[in-house]
């Protein structure tokens, strides 16, 4: 199977999943989940929550914030290397205008990173909720026509890998930062 035939299959499958132009409940649900992974929602929420949290939640919030930030740089770098154009469509103008590249999906990467970190640091109930939410975000990005299936699969895998690496190195790294700045981050 050639790369061209794989990309054609990817485009056909993605098109079959699309609900962006179909009014109704499924589209409304897809819009909700497609936006629920937005970085402009998560970053301020984590910063705001940090001011009102105890040390348990602050640790989770700092690691999530740091992971999201590192992941954003990686995703943008890969997008500018690959330069795969987003699927054609009307919905998602803000994404199409500010980021015309689709591979990998930053939303899928971010949502899976958040779920993995919650699994490593959060309570089990939160991990379960986020593991249900993350694939819904990824599927919604395809359903709303701003990504291909391969974009969200690659994004999910990237988010998982970055989160696993982050969980492995966060404690020694934050101890070092704490010693440099002279006060604990959480």
Q: Which residues, in sequence order, are CB contacts of 167 under 8 Å at separation 6+?
A: 63, 116, 117, 120, 121
| 4 falls within a domain | no
> How many residues are listed for the chain in this entry?
186
Contact call for residues 166 and 117 (beta carbons, < 8 A): yes
Q: Which residues, in sequence order, are CB contacts of 91 under 8 Å at separation 6+?
A: 20, 21, 31, 144, 145, 146
| Number of domains the chain is built from | 1
pLDDT tens, residue by residue, 37-76: 888 889 899 889 988 988 888 888 888 999 999 999 999 9
Q: Domain containing 100: what range? A: 19-181
| 177 falls within a domain | yes
| 136 falls within a domain | yes
Cα 102 to Cα 149: distance, rounded to the nearest angstrom: 10
Structure confidence at residue 95 (pLDDT): 77
pTM of the model: 0.88
User: Which of 165, 151, 154 lies closest to 14, judged by CA?
Assistant: 151
pLDDT tens, residue by residue, 128-157: 999 999 999 999 999 999 899 999 999 999
pLDDT tens, residue by residue, 81-109: 999 988 887 776 777 778 888 899 999 99
| 70 falls within a domain | yes
pLDDT tier, 5 (very low <50, low <70, confident <90, very high otherwise): confident
CA-based max dimension of the chain: 57
Q: What's the whole-number average pLDDT of the chain? A: 88
| 157 falls within a domain | yes
Residue whose structure tokens are 């205008």: 97
Contact call for residues 92 and 146 (beta carbons, < 8 A): yes
| 142 falls within a domain | yes
pLDDT tier, 171 (very low <50, low <70, confident <90, very high otherwise): confident
- Quote the distance between the C-alpha of residue 66 and its chain's center: 13
| 73 falls within a domain | yes
């Amino acid at each position: 199977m050639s790369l061209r035939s794989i990309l054609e299959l990817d485009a056909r499958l993605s098109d079959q999943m699309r609900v962006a132009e179909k009014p109704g409940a499924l589209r409304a649900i897809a819009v909700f989940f497609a936006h629920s992974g937005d970085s402009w929602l998560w970053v301020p929420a984590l910063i705001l929550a940090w001011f009102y949290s105890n040390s348990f939640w602050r640790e989770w919030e700092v690691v999530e914030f740091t992971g999201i930030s590192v992941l954003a740089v990686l995703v943008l770098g890969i997008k500018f290397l690959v330069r795969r154009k987003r699927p054609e469509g009307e919905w998602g103008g803000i994404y199409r205008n500010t980021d015309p590249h689709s591979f990998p999906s930053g939303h899928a990467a971010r949502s899976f990173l958040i779920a993995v970190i919650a699994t490593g640091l959060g309570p089990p109930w939160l991990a379960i909720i986020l593991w249900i939410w993350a694939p819904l975000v990824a599927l919604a990005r395809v359903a709303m026509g701003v990504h291909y299936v391969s974009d969200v699969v690659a994004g999910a895998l990237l988010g998982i890998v970055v989160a696993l690496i982050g969980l492995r190195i966060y404690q020694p790294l934050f101890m070092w930062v704490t010693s440099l700045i002279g006060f604990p981050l959480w």
